[in-house]
Amino acid sequence: MIKSKFVLNNYAEGKFIKTGRKAGNATYFYRDGKQYLISRESNYVYGRFPDGSVKMYIEKGGPGFKIDEALYENGRFIKLLTTCNRSASNDVGFEDPRCIKWNNKQYIMFNRRNLKNVTNVQMHIGEIDEKLNYVNDRTLPNLNQVEKNWQPIESMPGECIYSYKPFTLVNVFTNNFRELPNKVDMDFRGSSQIVKYGETQLGIVHIRNEAFEYLSYLILFDKDLKIKKISSPFSFFGANVEFVAHAEYDTQLKILVSIHDQIIYEFSITNDLIERILNNDLDNNKMDNDIFTMFYNDAITNGNVFGALGVATFSHDDDVLFDAVTRNHDKNYFDGLQQTMQTRLIGNAV
């Protein structure tokens, strides 16, 4: 795994997004002066196991992992925008929302596992109607069963970056795929939308390994989508699973970062900091020793004990571990993994 050159939180502080519920992998859209958040509510959290591996802890009540998408208006929960079928083992639900406004319509893209073959990930596109419902859902053609991070391009209605190696675009209105002559050495996967940045365009991409270690890159394109610059790899906080499904630019670059699919933070990056990132001027990759204490407390504040216990498996804070061990003892949140988690939590305190 390539090492992070810097930790973004050392240069711009991530702001906790309080929802009062589980929340991860989120996106914004705006209507009538209101800010809307769509985030996924998952019944799993990535955590460390006693052998040091990072895997899913599944919430009690399976089967398998399940995802609903929640809608918030100005920070207030409105409703579940989509739900999965709890009784069907093949229905995982919609994942990784990305809102994009094209031709004055509010579109949203998701991925969803094929109900007949869960290893086949399919892209979906739909609209948010005037009553804030998800409508006109459509499954998009896919050339690759596992590529699930298409990046909608703000300035090019219908166009998305489909892959980086080879660099391929897909138009979701015409289903047309086409390659551009960008040469990229890394197997980047998409993260955010591609947004306008003056006369250029910006986006976030990521890589990850089998140990669920994520690193991100800021990427700059010209107006014709020719790559101009790619930053050094960086981490947002230094956690394992850090995923961005939303970027927007007004006077600053605003991104939403999900930690272990259970907690959301918003970063606002100034123009000066954007340029420093792209020019590889940042090198402070020190991780805050108390970062998992912050994650734990923020998850508890959200009423998300399940998610808090997952991130506690990375902590060595005695106060966090005592609280987590007590909570895990008092209530079984996990599907057959309560003792596994207890072993890991106690081991962290030794």
Alpha-helical regions (H) of 88-138: none
Residue 62: pLDDT band with limits 50, 70, 90 = low
Q: What is the pTM of this model?
A: 0.96
Instruction: Name the more confident of 149 and 12.
Output: 12
pLDDT given at position 61: 81
Residue 212: pLDDT band with limits 50, 70, 90 = confident
CA distances from 122 to 97, 117, 143 (A): 13, 10, 10
pLDDT given at position 84: 92
Is residue 55 over pLDDT 80?
yes
Instruction: Name the more confident of 282 and 120.
Output: 282
Measured between alpha carbons, how far is 211 from 240 in angstroms, rounded to an integer? 8
Per-residue pLDDT tens over the stretch 256-314:
999 999 999 999 999 999 999 999 999 999 999 899 999 999 999 999 999 999 999 99
Across 36-60, average pLDDT: 95
Q: Which helix (H) or strand (E) holds 105?
A: strand 105-114
Is residue 1 over pLDDT 80?
no
Residue 120: pLDDT band with limits 50, 70, 90 = confident
Across 320-340, average pLDDT: 95
Across 120-146, average pLDDT: 90
Q: Rounded to the nearest 10 degrees, how much is the dihedral formed by the CA atoms of 222, 108, 273, 206? A: -80
Across 104-117, average pLDDT: 90
Phi (first) and psi of residue 299, to 5 degrees: -65, -40
Amino acid at 213: E
Is residue 147 over pLDDT 70?
no
pLDDT given at position 146: 58
Measured between alpha carbons, how far is 113 from 88 in angstroms, rounded to an integer? 13
pLDDT given at position 222: 97
The mean predicted confidence, pLDDT, of the chain is 94
pLDDT given at position 244: 97
Is residue 18 over pLDDT 70?
yes
Across 133-144, average pLDDT: 90
**Residue (of 113, 109, 122, 200) closest to 152 by Cα position:** 109
pLDDT given at position 119: 76
Per-residue pLDDT tens over the stretch 166-199:
999 999 999 999 999 999 988 899 999 999 999 9
Residue 114: pLDDT band with limits 50, 70, 90 = confident
Is residue 19 over pLDDT 80?
yes
How crowded is residue 183: how many other Cβ atoms within 10 Å of its Cβ? 9
Give the CATH number of domain 6-349; options: 1.10.150, 2.40.160, 2.115.10, 3.40.1710: 2.115.10
